[in-house]
Amino acid sequence: MNHNAKPRTLQRRISCLKSLSSFCLKERYMESDFMAGIQALKSDKNLPVYMSLEELQKLFRFLEKDERPLAYRNNVLFKLLATSGMRRQELVDLTWEQVNLDNQTIRVFGKGKKERLLPMHMIVVPLFHHYKEHLAEHQLHDTEPVFLNKNEEKMTPHGLHVIFKDILLKAGLPPKRFSLHYFCSTLFLYKCFYRPTEIECVFSLPLLLRVLYLY
């Protein structure tokens, strides 16, 4: 028996023993529950892992220098994700009718079909203009997805996850350490990127609470 087992490991063992005890009682192999009164341990809660400013700058430098096919799409996509607070499902569902480059805003439909109007960060606006200019005309219809995969089809959340991990690896960052779930709120941690009046507009309350929990 490993006495240094983590709480999650002990939880699994306790759960197995409880199932065994329940089965033995049901089949009348024994008369009393040997697991009665034994409670599962509370598991450790891991704090979310965000990129440091240096790591974020390293990622951005790679995106800007990358010369592979679809590199410019990735540059726009991940800078938008890092600066907007959008969820990955909202990003892959984004269509051109939701993007207003004149007003520099993006209309997003989140969970429960709740609508949010997000201001575009100043580093993203020129990238979006350039990206749009280099797309084919049929890709710019209002109902067309803004970001397509290599087969020119709508991207999926899993596909976005795979691209993110690949870019982290090629940028010299540890892929296992970071997740898209927290990447979308990365720049909120660095006040140099936002004016105070923008914060409330960009981030929904649950996301704000999730980030502020770090402090």
pLDDT value at residue 156 = 95
Rounded-to-integer distance, Cα 98 and Cα 108, Å = 7
CA angle 138, 143, 148 (to 5 degrees): 65
Same domain, 34 and 83: no
CA–CA separation, 108 and 148 (whole Å): 18
Question: Residue 98 has what pLDDT?
Answer: 96
- pLDDT score at 212: 40
Look at residue 206 in the predicted model and tell me its pLDDT.
44
Residues 100, 153, single domain; the answer is yes
What is the sign, positive or negative, of the torsion defined by CA atoms of 183, 181, 72, 90? Answer: negative
Q: Are 107 and 166 in a shared domain?
A: yes
Mean pLDDT by 10 residues, the chain (215 residues): 69 86 87 82 68 88 92 94 87 95 90 84 92 92 95 94 95 91 70 47 43 39
Mark whether 110 and 177 lie in a shared domain.
yes
Check if the beta carbon of residue 165 is closer than 8 Å to that of residue 158.
no
0.95 exceeded by pTM: no
Tell me the residue range of the domain where 156 lies: 53-212
CATH at 161: 1.10.443.10
In this structure, the answer to whether residues 90 and 140 fall within a common structural domain is yes
Do 27 and 58 share a structural domain? no
State the pLDDT at residue 85.
80
Q: Are residues 4 and 106 in the same domain?
A: no
Sorted by sequence, the CB contacts under 8 Å of residue 130 that are 6+ apart come out as 72
Say if residues 175 and 162 touch (Cβ distance below 8 Å): no
Specify whether 37 is located in the same domain as 91: no
- Position 197 scores a pLDDT of 46
Instruction: Specify the number of domains making up the chain.
Output: 2
Are 110 and 26 members of one domain?
no
